[in-house]
Amino acid sequence: MAECAVNGDSDVLIRAEKFKEEANQLFKDKKYEEAVELYTRAIEANPKSSVYHANRSFAHLRLENYGFALEDASTAIACDKKYIKAYYRRASAYMSLGKFKPALRDLEAVVKVRPTDKDARMKYNACSKIVKQKAFEKAIACDDNKKPVSETINLENITVEDSYSGPHIPEDGIDPAFMENLVQTFKKQGKLHRRYAYKILLEVKQILASLPSLVDIVVEKDNKLTVCGDVHGQYYDLCHVFDINGLPSLDNPYLFNGDFVDRGSWSVEVILVLLGYKVLYPHNFHLVRGNHETDYMNQMYGFEGEVKAKYDGMMMQLFSEVFNWLPLSYCVNRKVLIMHGGLMEQDNVTLEDLRSIDRNRQPPESGLMCDLLWSDPQMQSGRGPSKRGVSCQFGPDITSKFLKHNELDYIIRSHECKNGGYEEQHNGKCITIFSAPNYCDQMGNKGAFITLRSPDLKPKFTQFDAVSHPEVQPMAYANSFMRMPGMF
């Protein structure tokens, strides 16, 4: 039995085991938050059980709480260095955080103990391949004179074959008819020709590069703005939003608050539609960068694999360039600040500080840019360590102080799956919006979007359920490590 010896009342240990069994059932029922609560009660009764810590680690992985998952797996290993599942869990957490070398060390420990375990060997080989690839990329990255891929593409050299039956971008550029055609083409599982996909990417890069890192927008009196949260490649649910709320137009502006791609298996379709609308309505359609619009997340969670499967590696490089130029936050009527993650680890940050962030890069591991993409709210006052292992968590007092310092009413952020599609925290001053219903086909949550009407900008929430989609599983294009049994 993979548990440390404990001294304690046998009734307490029996109760702890009962909590664990109930938590295991909740986990099977995909009620991960409730499972975490009961694993915690089991741990409180028997803190030396490696099994309880490893099980809670797995539940945290399902909730994308990678920092907590890492901590629990490490505790399980400290309790029992021979408990192999704990090494699997910690390797998963490390991989999710882009820390491939320590993940490889954990998997190496597993392989040493179980040299004939085919599954362990497959995981080790998958991780080893990534580490070697990263080392190669680092070795060739020293060429400072290498041109961005956007400067090497000549659209005139890309021929549209006579056999192509999808939508064509008119000579005068993208228009509403093209976008409606594109939405319907993707709905029918059709494909956009790569010449037109490249054209959208090149045009949108120029538009995004002209914007500051914090964009100020105005919603005029009696007009509205629709704010959507994470979509995560769930294209058919995105279309459902458009069915409910209308297609984007000059009179029907949208803001999508990051995490357009990864996990869902129609990320290419989602992002091309969103970028196409940004080209069509550059001042009435808005996109904020999320933590999944980054290279290592795309490599692990499916977007890179999907782009390469549907187009090619060069297009993935161009997507990376475009993502680097996505703004990090928006401010509506000088009243409402919108970002993907949340507030910062440091006090007294101003809107001007956010406006002047140098964002044309992959996000650093700390600082304002990292916080805007990764932080989360917490119920307790003050700041706490991030459950994700990146940035921090911030309490209601932090929100209140930031709003007062910058003369704002409230913030809107996304980044977390919510059962009802949204949640109001910090006395209504911190709103989370999430627009991917039944996230990854397993969470059972609703999606939601927010309607803001001027002049008061009081948020109105619209909830919606997931719709059916073709039989392609989430994570279909993810790194093989992430699709292996027992990892996620």
Tell me if 288 sits within 8 A of 338, measured CB to CB.
Answer: yes
pLDDT for the residue numbered 476:
93
Which range is least confidently modeled, 139-148, 165-174, 340-349, 450-459? 139-148
DSSP state of 306: H
Percent of the chain with pLDDT over 90: 86
**241-251 confidence digits (pLDDT tens):** 999 999 999 99
| Terminal-to-terminal C-alpha distance of the chain | 24
Tell me if 263 sits within 8 A of 474, measured CB to CB.
Answer: yes
Tell me if 466 sits within 8 A of 345, measured CB to CB.
Answer: no
CATH superfamily name and code, 10-140: Tetratricopeptide repeat domain (1.25.40.10)
State the pLDDT confidence band at 139, using cuts at 50, 70 and 90: confident
Catalytic residue annotation: 292
pLDDT for the residue numbered 285:
98
pLDDT for the residue numbered 488:
35
Q: How far is CA 254 from CA 223, 234, 241, 251, in A?
A: 12, 17, 11, 10
286-290 average pLDDT score: 98
Taking 80 as the threshold, does the pLDDT of residue 316 lie above it? yes
**115-129 confidence digits (pLDDT tens):** 998 888 888 998 898
State the pLDDT confidence band at 147, using cuts at 50, 70 and 90: confident
Radius of gyration of the chain (CA): 23
Q: What is the C-alpha to C-alpha distance for residues 487 and 475, in angstroms, rounded to an integer?
A: 12
pLDDT for the residue numbered 134:
81
Q: Which of 136-140, 457-461, 475-479 has the highest mean pLDDT?
A: 457-461
State the pLDDT confidence band at 298, using cuts at 50, 70 and 90: very high
pLDDT for the residue numbered 4:
55
**49-103 confidence digits (pLDDT tens):** 999 999 999 999 999 999 999 999 999 999 999 999 999 999 999 988 889 999 9
**350-391 confidence digits (pLDDT tens):** 999 999 999 999 999 999 999 999 999 999 999 999 999 999
pLDDT for the residue numbered 135:
83
Q: What is the C-alpha to C-alpha distance for residues 264 and 290, in angstroms, rounded to an integer?
A: 15
Ordered by start, the domain boundaries in the chain are 10-140, 155-482
Q: Is the dihedral of CA 237, 372, 375, 225 positive or negative?
A: negative
Torsion-angle region of residue 98: left (phi > 0), alpha (psi -120 to 50) or beta?
left
Q: Mean pLDDT for the chain?
A: 94
24-38 average pLDDT score: 94
Stronger pLDDT, 7 or 423, i.e. the higher one: 423
**155-172 confidence digits (pLDDT tens):** 999 999 999 999 999 999
With b meaning 16 or more CB within 10 Å and e meaning fewer, what string describes 161-189? eeeeeebebeeeebeeebbebbbebbeee
Task: Tell me which CATH code domain 155-482 carries.
Answer: 3.60.21.10
Q: How far is CA 165 from CA 38, 244, 315, in A?
A: 55, 29, 21
pLDDT for the residue numbered 120:
83
pLDDT for the residue numbered 138:
74
